[in-house]
Amino acid sequence: MGLMTFLRNRAGFILIGAIGFAIVAFLVGDAINVGKPFWAASQKVVGSVDGEEINIDEFGTKVDQNLQQFKQQYGGSANPQMTAMAVDNAWQGELAAILLGKEYSRLGLDISSDELFDLYQGKNPSPLIVQYFGNPQTGQIDRAAVINSLKQQASNPQLKQQWDLLQAEIEKQALQQKYANLIKNSVYVTSLEANDEYQNRNKLANFNYVSLDYASIPDASVKPSDSDYSDYYNENKKSFDNPAETRSFEYVSFSINPTKADSAATKAQVDKLANDFKVSKSDSLFAAINSDVKVPYTYITKGKLDPVVDSAVFALPAGSFYGPVFSGNSYKMAKVIDVRFSPDSVKASHILLDAAKMGGADKAVKFADSLKTLVQNGANFSALAKMYSVDGSKDKGGELGTFSRGQMVPEFENAAFNGKTGDLKVVTSQFGVHLIKIENQIGSSKVAKLAYVEKNLAPSSKTKAEAYKKASNFLNEVKGDNFAELAKKQKYTVGMADRITASQGYAPGLDNPRQLIRDAYAAEKGDVLTEVYQMDNAYVIAHVTDIKPKGLLPLEAVKKDIEPMVINAVKAKMLTEKISKAGASNLNQLAQKLGKQVLPVQNIVFANPIVPGAGQENKLIGSVFGSQAGKLSKPVTGENGVFVFTVNGFTNPAPMGNTYKQKESMLQGIAQRSLGAAFQALQDKSDIKDNRVKFY
């Protein structure tokens, strides 16, 4: 709907600008009483990058706008997961703006005025210009519309502000592309690498093997020593580099799901409601007052309601009553007000008039009627839209494109879908007075107008109070060192949330855990959190069991986690010794002495180290491709056991026909990964402080 509509809808993605900060200096003595306390500013710092602070006021605005975008994209209302996504998206945007901005400056990357002109009006326009000034069918830019919009900035401060935001986003994208190209052009693939990759994916190996599984030795019979733990830790130290601080906590949930008594009470209420609904004189008002789920009192297409209700309602004639029926977690009932066939979608244009600026709705309607008469007498609708409309679509002559039901406000939708192609309609909505021109109507489907009531099955206040009392009693009794023991004694199930990050919007078994996670990050290891947390269907008491800081974790911090792997490492030594003591000279002899079978493997490639029946065994397949045919191997420590093998032979592929094509294919993947790796390297080299958990 034009530049102004685009910017109004997408402002969260194009808010670019430097954040200015005041450095509060203070002196001892009387000066400390002047102005705000020195620590006041820190209460608004959501994080910093190399000392450059991110203020919660501006950051919060970007989070809200990201959240609105996610709600539009995914539908429904905000939930903890969606909010966490919005916070993380805004945070990544801040990191990118600061870190990449510094990198652009260091590298001398910028956008010249000539380049900017080309991005607006030249042969290589910005994708944003193409998107909002281009013809959807041909992709051609309406350069006259771009120039006209740019000229109008002088007399339209709002448009100028929006163009400033758009220009910033266009420059940002252009700089990102330059930087991406710079990274891409810095990587290459040699002919040797291309040939190795080709061989790894096409050379075939056939071999036989004998294995002794770790599962053949009971875990209880293995007692790893301190040196066993140290050896495993030192050999795998890189895997213990924690990218972000995490907290682990255990918890007990006290259910507040409806009881049988609650269900009976709700059923009685619904039955009475159904009787009242059947005789109601104002169906839309009754539904608006009594329904827990609001369904617009307008025509809807099949597939919008619960499947049980949907299939039944659309088979009923007008005047029918359906329900109540229980589905999901609620009772549903509906009156069928009307049924008809209607277009699937409509293409329309409009002229929007601002009633307030025209002295009221009556005057705006009269003016719209006069415009309607002009069009009926041959006037150009598009020209009138550009002259009088206050909507962003005016730059396109009022064109709104093609839309389906549910995309426009009810008054606009009813006029567009209930009319016919060529009609001119004057309607009033919350946005003003519209003169609508129906350009085309596409398809035809059955639609129904319903008065709809849905009542959720919810726990009573008594049920909630009893659950809260149990949770409070448990909280009063429990201590950090007896949490699991007391829960077991009182026959409560203990849940576990392991390695939860500060910004995480979910935790296993918990539907609304953000406040709990925030409090866990303000607590110490071993603390029982002092609050009874209310989730959607339970009260929760929690206990912080572990804190893993950012950076390389010490052995003691991961000892419990690596215990299964250390036990397998000890088993590997035992099984390797058993194989060595067998003293076999070939695979069949070894299998006989160990009481195992020789298993054949056919047509394995290096790039896909999956052994049928044994799973992924990287070390085994790597050893196979590094061995000679016919030679008994040494024992190989794998993921699931210890292996000994003999290679039967290799099948080499035909010589690579197109080295250039192979290089290009590899280069594309490497270049894509290298851009992300470069941004990660910038983060790793920077001093980033993340305080988001204090605010979200």
pLDDT digits (tens, 9 = 90+) for 505-537: 889 999 889 999 999 999 999 999 999 999 988
State residue 571's pLDDT score. Answer: 97
Structural domain ending residue among the three candidates 291, 317, 342: 342
Task: Flag whether pLDDT at 160 surpasses 90.
Answer: no
Cα-based torsion angle of the residue sequence 111, 117, 122, 123 in order, rounded to the nearest 10 degrees = 0
The whole domain housing 289 covers: 260-342
- CB hemisphere CA count around 333 (13 angstroms): 22
Q: Considering only CA atoms, which of 250, 8, 78 is closest in space to residue 696?
A: 78
How does pLDDT run across 324-344, given as a tens digit for each residue?
A: 999 989 999 999 999 999 999
Tokens of 452: 């709809």
Can you tell me whether residue 485 is helix, strand or coil?
A: helix
The answer to whether the CB of 483 falls within 8 A of the CB of 543 is yes
Structural domain ending residue among the three candidates 318, 342, 366: 342
d(CA 163, CA 160): 5
d(CA 263, CA 267): 6
State residue 356's pLDDT score. Answer: 87
What is the mean pLDDT of the segment spanning 109-136?
A: 85
Task: Flag whether pLDDT at 9 surpasses 60.
Answer: no
C-alpha of 438 from chain center: 37
Q: Helices H, strands E: what count in the chain?
A: 23, 23
Q: Mark whether 567 and 592 lie in a shared domain.
A: yes
How does pLDDT run across 37-77, given as a tens digit for each residue?
A: 333 446 889 999 999 999 999 999 999 988 988 887 777 67
CA geometry: angle 39, 43, 49, nearest 5 deg:
100
Q: How confident is the model at residue 6 (pLDDT cuts 50, 70, 90)?
A: very low
Q: Indicate whether 605 belongs to any domain.
A: yes
Positive or negative CA dihedral for 656, 659, 665, 669? positive
Q: Mark whether 501 and 598 lie in a shared domain.
A: no
Q: Indicate whether 451 belongs to any domain.
A: no
d(CA 474, CA 542): 11
- CB-based contacts of 498, cutoff 8 Å, min separation 6: 248, 508, 546
State residue 2's pLDDT score. Answer: 45
What percentage of the chain carries pLDDT values higher than 70? Answer: 93
Q: Mark whether 24 and 155 lie in a shared domain.
A: yes
d(CA 542, CA 650): 58
Q: What is the largest CA-CA distance in the chain?
A: 104
State residue 498's pLDDT score. Answer: 94
What is the mean pLDDT of the segment spanning 104-132?
A: 88
Tokens of 346: 């409509």
3-class DSSP string for 277-290: HHCCCCHHHHHHHH
How does pLDDT run across 163-204, given as a tens digit for each residue?
A: 888 888 899 899 999 999 999 889 999 999 999 999 999 999
Q: Indicate whether 41 belongs to any domain.
A: yes
The answer to whether the CB of 399 falls within 8 A of the CB of 393 is yes
Q: Indicate whether 447 belongs to any domain.
A: no
What is the mean pLDDT of the segment spanning 471-494?
A: 94
Q: Mark whether 214 and 250 lie in a shared domain.
A: no
Tokens of 109: 């990357």
Q: Indicate whether 338 belongs to any domain.
A: yes
Q: Mark whether 70 and 173 lie in a shared domain.
A: yes
How does pLDDT run across 671-691, given as a tens digit for each residue?
A: 888 988 999 999 999 999 999
d(CA 560, CA 390): 66
Backbone angles phi, psi at 297, to 5 degrees: -80, 70
Task: Flag whether pLDDT at 32 surpasses 80.
Answer: no
Q: Considering only CA atoms, which of 394, 397, 398, 442 is closest in space to residue 417?
A: 442
Task: Flag whether pLDDT at 477 surpasses 60.
Answer: yes
Q: Indicate whether 314 belongs to any domain.
A: yes
The answer to whether the CB of 72 falls within 8 A of the CB of 83 is no
DSSP one-letter code for 638: -
Buried-exposed string 155-190: b where 16+ CB fall within 10 A, e elsewhere: eeeebeebbebbbebbbbbbbeebbeeebeeeeebe
Tokens of 280: 């109601």
How does pLDDT run across 239-256, given as a tens digit for each residue?
A: 999 989 999 999 999 999
Q: Mark whether 617 and 491 lie in a shared domain.
A: no
How does pLDDT run across 417-453, given as a tens digit for each residue?
A: 989 999 999 999 989 999 999 999 999 989 999 999 9
Say which range, 123-132, 494-503, 610-619, 671-680, has the weakest mean pLDDT. 123-132
How does pLDDT run across 280-301, given as a tens digit for each residue?
A: 999 999 999 999 998 888 888 8
Partnered with residue 246 across adjacent β-strands are: 501, 548
Q: Mark whether 253 and 264 lie in a shared domain.
A: no
State residue 335's pLDDT score. Answer: 95
The CATH number given to whatever domain includes residue 500 is 3.10.50.40
Q: How confident is the model at residue 137 (pLDDT cuts 50, 70, 90)?
A: low
Q: How confident is the model at residue 136 (pLDDT cuts 50, 70, 90)?
A: low
What percentage of the chain carries pLDDT values higher than 90? Answer: 68
Structural domain ending residue among the three candidates 614, 635, 651: 651
Residue listed under structure tokens 């329900």: 323
State residue 42's pLDDT score. Answer: 62
Q: How many CB atoms lie within 10 A of CB 227?
A: 8
Q: Mark whether 41 and 157 lie in a shared domain.
A: yes
3-class DSSP string for 88-138: HHHHHHHHHHHHHHHHHHHHCCCCCHHHHHHHHHCCCCCHHHHHHHECCCC
The model carries a pTM of 0.67
Tell me which range, 70-79, 107-116, 633-642, is most confidently predicted by mean pLDDT. Answer: 633-642
- Report the first-to-last Cα separation within the chain, whole angstroms: 34
Q: How confident is the model at residue 647 (pLDDT cuts 50, 70, 90)?
A: very high
Strands in 191-329 per DSSP E: 204-213, 241-242, 246-255, 299-301, 321-327
d(CA 234, CA 231): 5
Q: Mark whether 329 and 382 lie in a shared domain.
A: no
The answer to whether the CB of 252 falls within 8 A of the CB of 529 is no
Q: Mark whether 543 and 562 lie in a shared domain.
A: no
Can you tell me whether residue 59 is helix, strand or coil?
A: helix
- DSSP H helical ranges for 405-510: 410-418, 461-477, 483-489
Backbone angles phi, psi at 179, to 5 degrees: -65, -40
Tokens of 456: 């959720």
Q: Indicate whether 669 belongs to any domain.
A: no
Q: Mark whether 432 and 400 lie in a shared domain.
A: yes
Q: Indicate whether 666 belongs to any domain.
A: no
The answer to whether the CB of 91 falls within 8 A of the CB of 503 is yes
Give the total number of structural domains in the chain.
5
Tokens of 137: 């069918």
Q: To the nearest whole number, what is the mean pLDDT of the chain?
A: 88
d(CA 544, CA 513): 14
Can you tell me whether residue 524 is helix, strand or coil?
A: coil
Tell me the pairing of strands 241-242 and 204-213.
unpaired
Q: Mark whether 502 and 585 lie in a shared domain.
A: no
State residue 12's pLDDT score. Answer: 41
